[in-house]
Amino acid sequence: MSISLYEKEQLFKLDTKNTSYVIGIVDEEKFLGHVYYGAKLKDHHAGYLMRVNENPFVPSKNNRDRVSFLDSFAMEYPAHGLGDYRESCISIRTMQGNVGLSLNYVSHKITEGKTSFRNLPSSFGSREDCSVLEILCEDKTTGLQAVLQYGVFEDVDVITRSVKVINEGEEPVYLTKVYSACLDMDNKDFEAISLHGSWARERQIQSVPVSHGKYSVESIRGESSHQDHPFMALKTKNATQETGEVYAMHFVYSGNFKVQVQADQFDQVRMVMGIHPTDFAWRLESKEEFQAPEVVMVYSDKGLGQMTRTFHDFYRKHLIRSEYKNKKRPILINNWEATYFDFNTDKLISIAKQASELGIEMLVMDDGWFGNRYDDNRALGDWFVNEEKLKGGLKYLVDEVNKLGMKFGIWFEPEMISPDSDLYREHPDWAIAIPGREASLCRNQYVLDLTRQKVRDYAYECVAKILRSANIEYVKWDMNRQLSDIGSAELPADRMGELYHRYVLAVYEMQERLIQEFPHLLLENCSGGGARFDPGMLYFSPQIWCSDDTDAIERLKIQEGTALIYPLSSMGAHVSDCPNHTVGRVTPFETRGYVALAGTFGYELDVTKIPEEDREMIPEQVAMYHKYNDLVREGDYYRIASYAENHYFDCYGVVSKDKKEALYTFVQVLNRPNYHSRRLQLKGLDPEKVYEIEGEEGTYTGEILMKAGINIQNPWGDFKGKLIHLTEV
């Protein structure tokens, strides 16, 4: 049993293979306190860590200092308004306008196995590899209850957290904040790692010291966003890829979020994560419940690398559901950077014909195939085929592509509406907007109010009708702007604070309908590139477009930050044209292939127009993908060197679970005069095994390759790459 209750000590102990998480109940009022999270404990006698016999004492012993107790006790799920002045996890407003909440232990339940939440993406596990603890807490004054939910995934060293709030009172209450998880600890000279960015610069790794005050990473854009990511890790100072402690949280949600670390007056730290409270107010009627999204928590005492591999294993085994998660994805060619809006049936078939001869397996038709869509200023919402472009219709095109032995995929942006569209002219109230205020445009488009059932039914049916009309096996689902002007023509005034969350739930509902009706569909989510690359989306699609920046050198940083927490199989990555359409850089076609190999692998160019020497390399890259993809998709990821840190070169590797095979990718970004080769210590090998390096003579033990390293001759020039393939002798 991975969950134990020690009644005498009033402690819950949650154990995975290598970690323990301990919760305590203290005082007559049954406050729930955080005791310990870290390396696995054999002993459970850890209650002393809650310091209840130190000043300030628990209220039953010294109620004159109740506030002092509340403001210093390591709370498991802190509430707002009664004396804990640190960041709270939950706050309410009653019908009388009062705030304040005290959630105290009532009962608990332990079950084996875990199913997903009903309306939210969340993890799942069998009885053999997961247990669930639910702790019921109650505020006696309001009748509000909170069920603290813990999923213990023993096999992969993960604990998930969430909370379900139930109104057992007689009157409605307004939830004005509902976070999903809290972690109260002593400060270990922590540094906070987060992922920041912008369009075409997503998920750049940043590390800052945790100091007194609050440091937060957040989005109020209606999506998880390009700018910040719903992730934070606290690492001990000087922790490396292999050493040091790491405490990480990752949010399984695709909307507004906040993750914050706070160092308080007593040098304790509190890390919280959940739905962003700005513009959030959920009216919870009597007997109704509110389910908060899930947080994935990982502890590592073997550095960031172990944290990374834990997240990868967890998402591959307990979050991604697609049938594609354990098999190769078809090598696709997308026509966006090849043609933009300027294409027709003949042009697409010419690209497909050339691509099929080179071994590419799927053609994806991107934006511009519908309505009056000749540029990005119009026609979103008018999802009918433009037969001026596609002579003979969509089915004819798909059939012709299929005759070439290729699959066919298509692009949609079903959440959006253009002012210049038949749909908007007929239903202007279907756009999210504030009455009486001119709505803000972004990319000359508005957002559909998917919180309305008839609107999302329309949007879903537009997609489904197209998919039913032809043999379409892949969908790229895009979202090219954030939410603003938050207003709905249907929501009453006292529920307008629910719009952001209801919107996300609506997107989830639509995507769930899609994969249920089309269970063999390969769905790839996208949002202006990587603005909605989050675990919530991963639940519906096994891959997400990593970034609109396809430049191989820019992608080194983007993919490093993404791979810090996501499996390589989830990263949409393509070989694109040069000069690159985002930054104008020219890189070798070979290097572009090496970098794209670390993701799903595909092409984003006009194969009929690229230089002949590049075109001749495509069959080699196709063979490279088929040779290595099983290893890349399923193996353990190791970071060897970071171009983001050293500014000269990048190196990462993937090692099979049985340690019999490894592939390391080396990219020299900038060359510099050096008489000597570059020496790199490899990672992840079995020190006792003997390996050979493909293309070289000799054999090496894993020990010498990891401790002493290998020599890599500096390539002549910039932006040059090399693959190092090892197999056990």
Give me Rg for the CA atoms of the chain: 27
Paired residues of 440 in beta bridges: none
CA distance 167 to 150: 21
Q: Could you tell me which residues come within 8 angstroms of residue 19 by beta carbon, excluding any fewer than 6 positions away?
A: 37, 38, 39, 40, 157, 159, 299
346 part of the active site: no
Helix (H) or strand (E) holding 3: strand 3-6
What DSSP string describes 284-338?
Answer: E-TT-EEEPPEEEEEEESBHHHHHHHHHHHHHHHHT---GGGGSPPPPEEESHHH
Token pair belonging to 149: 């939910």
**Structural contact between residues 362 and 354, judged by C-beta atoms closer than 8 angstroms:** no
**CA 654 to the chain's CA centroid:** 20
3-state SS track over 202-220: CCEEEEEECCEEEEEEEEC
Among 71, 449, 478, 551, the one annotated catalytic: 478
The pairing of strands 332-334 and 602-604 is parallel
User: Based on the number of CB atoms within 10 Å of its own CB, is 64 exposed (0-12), middle (13-18) or buried (19 or more)?
Assistant: exposed
Token pair 């001990």 in the structure block, residue: 236
Among 71, 534, 548, 650, the one annotated catalytic: 548
What residue spans of 597-657 are helical by DSSP H? 612-634, 643-646
Q: Which amino acid is at 92?
A: I
User: How large is the angle between the packed helices 394-403 and 345-357, nearest 10 degrees?
Assistant: 20
Q: Which amino acid is at 544?
A: I
Phi then psi dihedrals of residue 283, to 5 deg: -75, 115
CA distance 508 to 502: 10
**CA 447 to the chain's CA centroid:** 22
Token pair belonging to 354: 């050339």
Put residue 83 in one of left, alpha, beta given phi > 0 → left and psi -120 to 50 → alpha: left
**Structural contact between residues 684 and 653, judged by C-beta atoms closer than 8 angstroms:** yes
CB count in 10 Å sphere of residue 402: 16
548 part of the active site: yes
CA distance 23 to 725: 46
Phi then psi dihedrals of residue 296, to 5 deg: -100, 125
CA distance 488 to 496: 7
Token pair belonging to 369: 């195939």
CA distance 652 to 682: 9
Q: Could you tell me which residues come within 8 angstroms of residue 151 by beta carbon, excluding any fewer than 6 positions away?
A: 114, 123, 125, 130, 131, 132, 158, 159, 160, 161, 294
Query: What amino acid positions are annotated as catalytic residues?
Result: 478, 548
